[in-house]
Chain A
């Protein structure tokens, strides 16, 4: 099956800083999603982005399907951005998740 790798595994920022999270996948995909897992464990959908670029407020994402990677940009980070960010990809019906990036934003 498809392999999904995320980097970095951990990231510590000061409030207001920008960051880029990366997701590499081993095969062509027909679905790629980014999630934020909040402190209560809920998975919050951030982006559905099998290709191209999308923006939602301070967050944006780009997927370059031909090169098998996706990037999540967080600008002007806030303490509420803390948590684990997962990307997940599929070439069939199942989403395969990466290990996640643990983001800590300090005030």
Chain B
């Protein structure tokens, strides 16, 4: 069964550094998402992406975040200058045709900012 994959599974970085989290969505999916979960809290939406454009973003997704689909398979989330409060689990998701279809989640990348 096809699945969403994410790399790395765990990333440790120092405050102020740039990080890129990588995702490979399911191959025929057209809509891509990033969510994050701070430890002990609920999962929060960051951004949705379709046709090489951001289609929706949350208040969390400020200028330090960016997303890109650099090739036909990868979908990335970049955090330009990490802060301690960016420490969280980041989930990538994809689906075939946007809402209302089921979103398929990857296993997550745990980001620790020291």
Contact = CB atoms under 8 A, between A and B. Distances in A.
Contact of A93 (B43, B48, B110): B48
A26 to B, nearest CB: 15
Interface stretch (A14-22, A37-45, A69-77): A37-45
A98 B100 CA distance: 18
Interface residues of A, number: 25
B104 A45 contact: yes
Interface of B is mostly: strand
B104 A95 contact: no
Contact of B56 (A35, A50, A92, A96): A92
B99 A35 contact: no
A19 to B, nearest CB: 20
Interface string A1-44: 00000000000000000000000000001110101000011110
B103 A33 contact: yes
Given A42-B107, A42-B108, A45-B105, A97 B100 contact: no
Q: Which range holds the interface residue count of chain B?
A: 20 to 34
Contacts of A98: 42
A20 B86 CA distance: 34
Nearest to A43: B105
A50 B42 contact: no
A99 B42 CA distance: 5
B31 interface: yes
B91 interface: yes
B43 to A, nearest CB: 4
Contacts of A40: 107
B102 A33 contact: yes
B102 A41 contact: no
Given A43-B43, A97-B43, 8 more contacts: A40-B107, A42-B107, A45-B102, A45-B105, A93-B33, A93-B56, A95-B45, A99-B42
